[in-house]
Structure 1
């Protein structure tokens, strides 16, 4: 968008604000690659040569320096060989969710309907706590320690 129309900088910044606000409201984390393309200061899209300058620095440690041309905020990313961010490591994956084949077949068969709604799946979590324990509460004003 900004490559075609550089004067749309304010629109891109407001869309970056909306993206961060939605992720905070939904208590979700942005993908690290998305976070790296947004300026932390003004939340505009960082495009090398248009809205940001990119430099390689060797000292004190090898890093890539991104400088926002709008607010002059600097981001540094280390360039260690073999370094992976936590989200890319295999032990960071807690659970993989897959769509059931039956659900996708139902959606494909209902392609003629005007409104397509995927089936709702629920997860039941079993606990070893007795529900009657929640109703028993000790009241400190009625307990006597004489």
Structure 2
């Protein structure tokens, strides 16, 4: 649908893909955590998403994944946690080779790796379900 010229160096297109998937994973993970926490405070998940979507918290997780795939309980984005974990792990490896600024990548990758161990093959939108279960106090 959309095509972009990324650069002349080999691997720049792959790097762009890893950057994009890292941002997507981070948005999904952070939104899932926020919604699960909001629900524990008695807030309605649909209302939270509606507020986020007209506020500074809006992102593709709030505008697309939650309304179409998570709140409907479909969990059918068609991209597995296995693939997302692979991409974010590759992103983290590249970051570790090139910089020492990797705190967010390590955090997100760690969460994805835990989900992969618990739910291999699951659609990545089930990160919300995983985080919600993980956040319950014993």
Common topology (TM > 0.5)? no
- Between 1 and 2, higher relative CO (CA 8 Å, sep ≥ 6) is seen in 2
- For the aligned pair, the TM-score class normalised by the smaller chain equals under 0.3
Q: Which has the higher helix share?
A: 2
Q: From the two aligned structures, give the one with the greater strand fraction.
A: 1
Larger Rg over CA atoms: 1
